[in-house]
Structure 1
Amino acid sequence: MKRSILSAAIVAAVSPAVADEAPGTDSDSATLQPVQVTATRLSQTVDEALASVTVIDREEIERLQPRQFTDLVEGRAGVSVSSAGPFGKQSSVRLRGTESDHHLMLIDGVRMGSATTGGASWRFLPPEEIDRVEIVRGPRTSIYGSDAIGGVTQVFSRAGREGPPRVNAFLGAGSFSTWEAGLGVAGGTGRTDYSLSVSMFDTEGIDVQDDVGDDDPDGYDNTSLAGKVAHRLDNGIELFGNVLYSEGRSEYDADEPGTGVPYDQAYTDFVHAALRAGIRVPLTDRWDTEFTLAQSRDEGDRVTEGGVSGGSVDQFDTRRDQLTWRNDVRLGERTDLIAGVDAYEDRVDSTADYDEDSRYNVGVYSVVRTELGNHDLEGSLRYDDNEQFGDKTTGQVAWGMQATDALRLRASYGTAFKAPTFNDLYWPSSGPMSFRGNPDLEPEESETFELGARYSASLAYVDVAVFETRVDDLITGFPVRENVDEARIRGLEVEGGHDLGPWNSRVSLTLLDAEDRDSGDELARRAPVSARFDLDRQIGDFSVGGTVLARSRSYEYDFTGEPSRLSGYGTMNLRAAYALDPEWTVEGSLTNVFDRDYETQGGYNNPGMGAFVKLRYQQQR
């Protein structure tokens, strides 16, 4: 009953904006139809995609004034975040109730993630260097390969466009001894677009754990460099390249194992980077081909100092070298084909004594989309050959129908898989973790059904989706890792928004039933109900707004399977901005206005109320 009431309330909040749409308005003029490319590697509006997609553009990023990347995505439809504290601490970003390592991160097309833990380092993404975020919910393994059981989030760094060089800069400070600064330039000629920027973020943070380590705040600093260039030749060939590089330190609390003595210092020195270069060639009027070379780095040195032993250094570095060949073919006026090859090699450099320290994966994929009157059909198929576990074939089919000018229906079915990590396979029995690896593990596998509907008007939209995902051969076990668990995840997602005059709103609701099929327990840290509401208003040169986040209770489990309860919570953030003139803007925000105590991961604190201010400069042309 409570779920039904909450669902009705969210829909009611969005419905008035839709009802205000004047009869006969042309939906093609909609202002809420951003273009995305992640769902199928085809450039499509969100309305055209046969998937559940959320796009966060640069305008929205600046309006929300996030301190960290997870502030942008937390509470969005199908998205949940749990973290071991704020500001650069270990964070899990789950899509549709699947594990965080079932969620693939791309940066400008570069595949990211740690080969040892399997997860992506969401906590190190610098919001000021991001131009756009695309979240695609639902399986995408048949397009991108392993890890995309729950979906894909692609982050695009800032790019230049034609025009003279424009300088942008910012300087900010606030609670928890936080400061940030950045400087960039972007522009373009008729043939070349370019962008280059650097940003810095530093905070003393908070004491993340009360009963572990020392009582000092656990700080975080991040220095990031981003660059992007594209050059077009006379014959239509395009050369392009991009880099997003971050490095810094994140402190945490730790006691020495076996003694319980707090370390004097515990921190991770990290490097998080995506590099790519490529060439795009128009072979014919209907056929473009593209070659890219890329590398991602996810490096972390975990350092402890003091204690009884004096401390230690544990190194876990992943380097992923990637080669892609992609072909875009227009088979007809209403039919497109994308086909290509993805190849990458993971290399691990670690103080842990893994039996293997590298493996390759080669994937061949194809995507076909066609329009038949009011109906759209889409299919994708992929074959992966992995050095460790052999081959795997995945596929997906989707159907869409334009029921009315404003209403679009869709349905899809897809299979996916997640390859075992190096920790799952090769973790040495003498290591500090409680388990040891098993080289005979098979990939985790899933199948997902989805039904969805999207209503789009010129000033508003509502998107509703229901889904069921079944995951088999989940990797768990103690002391030896095994393919033993099965999970069933069912859910309802509602997302909506409107841009009406000076008002702007976005609203999200997720209802989730995530069950371990063996034990019957809820999956850990999956809240059955979560919601987010963003509301902003422009008043002349002023803008004001706020974000409300709500999340119901959830559970987590110790090694014996004993549950502990994480209480539900609600938080509110407020923000304002004032344009001093066309180039200078001052921003201010209050986070966790009611100073709530809450946990998204047991035993780890989140910040109380905080205040931040920022001065932003954007040179006008």
Structure 2
Amino acid sequence: MKTVILPAILLSVPTLAFAQAPDDAPGEASQIIVTGAGLDLPPGTPAYGSVVIDRQRLLDSASGRIESVLGDVAGFQQFRRSDSRSSNPSNQGATLRALGGNASSRTLMLLDGVPIADPFFGYIPFSALAPERLSVVRVTRGGGIGAFGAGAVAGTIELASATRAQLPDFSASAFYGSRDSTEVSAGLTQDLGGGYVSLSGRWDRGDGFHTTPKDQRVAATVPAAYDGWSTNLRAVAPISATSELQFRATLFEDNRTLRFAGADSMSQGQDASIRYINRGAWQVDALAYVQARNFSNIVMSSSTFRKSLDQRNTPSTGIGGKIEIRPPVGPDHVLRLGVDTRFATGDMYEDAYNAMSGATTFRRHAGGDQWTTGAFVEDDWTPEGLGGKLILTGGVRGDRWSIRNGFYHQVSATTGAATGSDYANRSDWEVSGRVGALYRASDAVALRTAAYSGFRLPTLNELYRPFVVFPITTQANAALTPEKLKGVEAGIDLTPLTGLTLSATAFYNRLDDAIANVTNPLIANTRKRQNVDRIVAKGVELTAAAALGDIRLSASYAYNHSMVRAPGAAFNGFTPAQSPRHAASATVAYSPASGPTLSTTLRYVAKQYEDDLQSDVLPDALTLDAIARLPIGHGLSLVARGENLFDETIVTRNAGGSMDLGTPRTLWIGVSFGR
């Protein structure tokens, strides 16, 4: 009996061989070992200059959080510099290439092919994405992708679940850290028939640190305590020698307290997806998913320290799916044909209070629906006769989008008077595409170029929900139109020596109708979400990786020159909010086959501005993280981790001098087990 192993790595490029071996005797059974991966990436993928983060790097995070590891890719940023322990969840949108600060994600983030952004807000639930559950992460800076391409204006981050070969039968870890922090996780993976089932859970909590500078603290100021958990079930079952069924379900809840006692936020979710993969002559990737999410948040008055707003309930639902088919069109082409759809609906319920008396003043209800349905076609062509040196790739997609049933209603709690609006339904078509070329001049040199376009719908949050972060009130705007990006780039990949790779990319991106929080010059401390004419971002990205025996080195640098074009506006020609010009990261890891291991990461982020008028500065920051492992035996290791070892002061928010701070020096000690 032969063993046929279906390939494991989602992010590898070579064409795979699968199906029963030709020398199997008639009637001889084949044992199928499935791994739960998706289809191979098309051969033209390298033309778009992706950066891959491997599993070992994911496990060697000093913070143990995925958003910190993504910081290895210079240019990755959230709306604020805080991680998922000390930031309001609604701030945690992901973006790339300094296209302007926005709490909604300008980057399409996928887990096993499924979009994971919150259906109402557009933020990423980072606390639910445990690094130990992942195999690899691929980050593509720049717009355009095949399935679920609507939303990939700044790029795409693709996460793949760990494969069976990477998951021990049982794993567990327990850590204790600064400020009475604990982190506990466990995973159980068992073979079942020809497939497997994996169940994992994680719980972390901490008393937190003071996000408020010492000279701004008052009696009501408290540390940013956090308490969250997540659990994940994944099952993979073979259907035939070339096909399998994959199921995933994730439950999570995250509770945080920020700045003042009683300023509590909660986010939770219940996600599920099912995916069919066929690696036969007609390759198929079909999936369906559902997301049930909720969010609540209490805003405390900064003068009376009593509740001023209770965003008590924000239920939302996301439903979607895709079908992608790759027909057999000959050895020179990989053709992708597909359709996908996403539906999002959500409501916001909040109560406003008189911060002096504590009496309820208004009750508000807002919400709406969004629907995007698209079709795409993409082809990767490797011309015959050139020895595979040249690969041409191109694709186009068309999307029909609609924004429907939008409303914002407010009722006075004292008089019963109702105000607000029901907004007209809107719909339209968007066509986007991308083309690229990869030329391997030699084994050591590869040249690439690409051009692309894309769009992003405003989220329900941007359209209908105002918010307050003292002392600034930001108003919603139901008339927002989609953002549209056009971009070009060119790059070179060098492999001068075995184990050494160097890459450089120069890019120009233009985001038309960019959604920004625009200061109102007539009303103090007030901003409104608006479409500005455009944001132009151009720059250079450098990456390097080397393997020297037991030592691994990696580095990333991004120079982003971003500018707002808004003729007649006060901020015309300014740098977009939350957009650093320089960002860099470098990691050195010592990891022998046996014995102690050590990994250190140095990161730098240049200064950036909190607001569109460049009046509030967030200074630059340099941080050092480290993690060390000492194997004890029988799968058990002693682990020490350190975050921000320089104890750098990281300013994450600055509104007229009212500041929030990021993670100070944090030390962890614990054990891990896996066999």
Q: What residue is the counterpart of 1:228 in the other structure? A: 234
- Find the aligned partners of 1:563 and 1:450 in 2 and give their Cα distance: 32
Q: What residue is the counterpart of 2:490 in the other structure? A: 451
1:554 corresponds, among 608, 631, 651, to 608
- Find the aligned partners of 1:461 and 1:607 in 2 and give their Cα distance: 33
Quote how far apart the aligned CAs of 1:111 are. 1.1
- Find the aligned partners of 2:76 and 2:82 in 1 and give their Cα distance: 18
Q: SS in structure 2 opposite 1:72?
A: helix
- Find the aligned partners of 2:78 and 2:166 in 1 and give their Cα distance: 38
Q: What residue is the counterpart of 1:570 in the other structure? A: 622
Q: SS in structure 2 opposite 1:71?
A: helix
- Find the aligned partners of 2:183 and 2:639 in 1 and give their Cα distance: 13
Q: Which has the larger radius of gyration?
A: 2
Quote how far apart the aligned CAs of 1:439 are. 3.8
- Find the aligned partners of 2:611 and 2:241 in 1 and give their Cα distance: 60
1:74 aligns with 2:127: no
Cα gap change, 1:596 to 1:480, in 2 (>3 Å): closer
Q: SS in structure 2 opposite 1:387?
A: strand
1:335 aligns with 2:333: yes
Q: What residue is the counterpart of 1:501 in the other structure? A: 549
2:204 corresponds, among 201, 206, 209, to 201
Q: What residue is the counterpart of 2:481 in the other structure? A: 442
Asked if structure 2 preserves the Cα contact closer than 8 Å seen for 1:573 and 1:592, the reply is yes
1:149 corresponds, among 153, 171, 174, to 153
Matches within 5 A, 1:355-394: 356-372=367-383, 373=386, 374-388=389-403, 389-394=427-432
The aligned amino acid for 1:320 is: G
Cα gap change, 1:500 to 1:112, in 2 (>3 Å): same
- Find the aligned partners of 2:528 and 2:580 in 1 and give their Cα distance: 29
Cα gap change, 1:297 to 1:130, in 2 (>3 Å): farther
1:521 aligns with 2:521: no
Q: SS in structure 2 opposite 1:128?
A: helix
Asked if structure 2 preserves the Cα contact closer than 8 Å seen for 1:88 and 1:124, the reply is no
Cα gap change, 1:302 to 1:497, in 2 (>3 Å): same
Quote how far apart the aligned CAs of 1:142 are. 5.2
Between 116-125 and 337-346, the greater mean CA deviation after superposition: 116-125
Q: SS in structure 2 opposite 1:70?
A: helix
1:597 corresponds, among 649, 662, 667, to 649
Matches within 5 A, 1:250-399: 250-254=256-260, 264-281=261-278, 285-303=280-298, 307-308=305-306, 312-351=310-349, 356-372=367-383, 373=386, 374-388=389-403, 389-399=427-437
Q: What residue is the counterpart of 1:402 in the other structure? A: 440
RMSD: 3.0
Q: SS in structure 1 opposite 2:266?
A: strand
1:532 corresponds, among 585, 606, 609, to 585
Quote how far apart the aligned CAs of 1:212 are. 6.7
Quote how far apart the aligned CAs of 1:161 are. 4.2
Quote how far apart the aligned CAs of 1:60 are. 1.5
Quote how far apart the aligned CAs of 1:84 are. 6.1
CA displacement, residues 332-369 of structure 1 (integer Å, 9 cap, x when unaligned): 11211111111121010321556652222111111211
Quote how far apart the aligned CAs of 1:426 are. 3.3
Where in structure 1 are there 5+ consecutive unaligned residues?
1-31, 255-263
- Find the aligned partners of 1:504 and 1:362 in 2 and give their Cα distance: 43
Cα gap change, 1:397 to 1:615, in 2 (>3 Å): same
Where in structure 2 are there 5+ consecutive unaligned residues?
1-8, 15-37, 351-363, 404-426, 521-526, 567-571
Cα gap change, 1:618 to 1:395, in 2 (>3 Å): same
The aligned amino acid for 1:98 is: L
Q: What residue is the counterpart of 1:471 in the other structure? A: 511
- Find the aligned partners of 1:281 and 1:562 in 2 and give their Cα distance: 52
Cα gap change, 1:315 to 1:485, in 2 (>3 Å): farther
Between 454-463 and 400-409, the greater mean CA deviation after superposition: 454-463
1:35 aligns with 2:75: no
Q: What residue is the counterpart of 1:257 in the other structure? A: none
Cα gap change, 1:34 to 1:581, in 2 (>3 Å): farther
Query: Matched residue pairs, number?
Result: 571
Quote how far apart the aligned CAs of 1:47 are. 9.3
1:134 corresponds, among 123, 131, 138, to 138
Between 383-392 and 436-445, the greater mean CA deviation after superposition: 436-445
Q: What residue is the counterpart of 1:94 in the other structure? A: 95
1:543 aligns with 2:520: no
Q: SS in structure 1 opposite 2:462?
A: helix
Quote how far apart the aligned CAs of 1:380 are. 1.3
Asked if structure 2 preserves the Cα contact closer than 8 Å seen for 1:339 and 1:366, the reply is yes
- Find the aligned partners of 2:187 and 2:478 in 1 and give their Cα distance: 47
Q: What residue is the counterpart of 2:461 in the other structure? A: 423
- Find the aligned partners of 1:332 and 1:366 in 2 and give their Cα distance: 17
The aligned amino acid for 1:358 is: D
Between 568-577 and 227-236, the greater mean CA deviation after superposition: 227-236
Q: SS in structure 2 opposite 1:139?
A: coil
The aligned amino acid for 1:410 is: R
Quote how far apart the aligned CAs of 1:505 are. 0.8
Asked if structure 1 preserves the Cα contact closer than 8 Å seen for 2:553 and 2:586, the reply is yes
1:217 aligns with 2:233: no
CA displacement, residues 106-138 of structure 1 (integer Å, 9 cap, x when unaligned): 122211223443333335533333332221111
CA displacement, residues 417-475 of structure 1 (integer Å, 9 cap, x when unaligned): 11112233334799998454444432111101010111235312111111000111123
Matches within 5 A, 1:10-21: none
- Find the aligned partners of 1:115 and 1:56 in 2 and give their Cα distance: 27
Q: SS in structure 2 opposite 1:563?
A: coil
CA displacement, residues 31-87 of structure 1 (integer Å, 9 cap, x when unaligned): x996279xxx86249996211212222211223343322210115233234536441
The aligned amino acid for 2:282 is: W
- Find the aligned partners of 1:393 and 1:422 in 2 and give their Cα distance: 22
Cα gap change, 1:115 to 1:189, in 2 (>3 Å): closer
The aligned amino acid for 1:248 is: D
Cα gap change, 1:71 to 1:110, in 2 (>3 Å): same
Q: SS in structure 2 opposite 1:333?
A: coil
1:57 aligns with 2:95: no
The aligned amino acid for 2:539 is: G
- Find the aligned partners of 1:140 and 1:269 in 2 and give their Cα distance: 33
Cα gap change, 1:212 to 1:515, in 2 (>3 Å): farther
Instruction: Output the TM-score relative to the length of structure 1.
Output: 0.85
Quote how far apart the aligned CAs of 1:197 are. 0.9
Between 78-87 and 521-530, the greater mean CA deviation after superposition: 78-87
The aligned amino acid for 1:616 is: S
Q: What residue is the counterpart of 2:540 in the other structure? A: 492
Q: SS in structure 1 opposite 2:47?
A: coil
- Find the aligned partners of 2:630 and 2:244 in 1 and give their Cα distance: 40
The aligned amino acid for 2:203 is: M
The aligned amino acid for 2:538 is: R
The aligned amino acid for 1:453 is: I
Between 370-379 and 142-151, the greater mean CA deviation after superposition: 142-151
1:460 aligns with 2:437: no
Cα gap change, 1:365 to 1:488, in 2 (>3 Å): same
CA displacement, residues 390-420 of structure 1 (integer Å, 9 cap, x when unaligned): 1111010001101111211100000111111
- Find the aligned partners of 1:418 and 1:499 in 2 and give their Cα distance: 39
Q: SS in structure 2 opposite 1:405?
A: coil
Asked if structure 1 preserves the Cα contact closer than 8 Å seen for 2:578 and 2:609, the reply is yes
Cα gap change, 1:501 to 1:237, in 2 (>3 Å): closer
Q: What residue is the counterpart of 1:3 in the other structure? A: none
Between 273-282 and 319-328, the greater mean CA deviation after superposition: 273-282
Between 123-132 and 43-52, the greater mean CA deviation after superposition: 43-52
Q: SS in structure 1 opposite 2:225?
A: strand
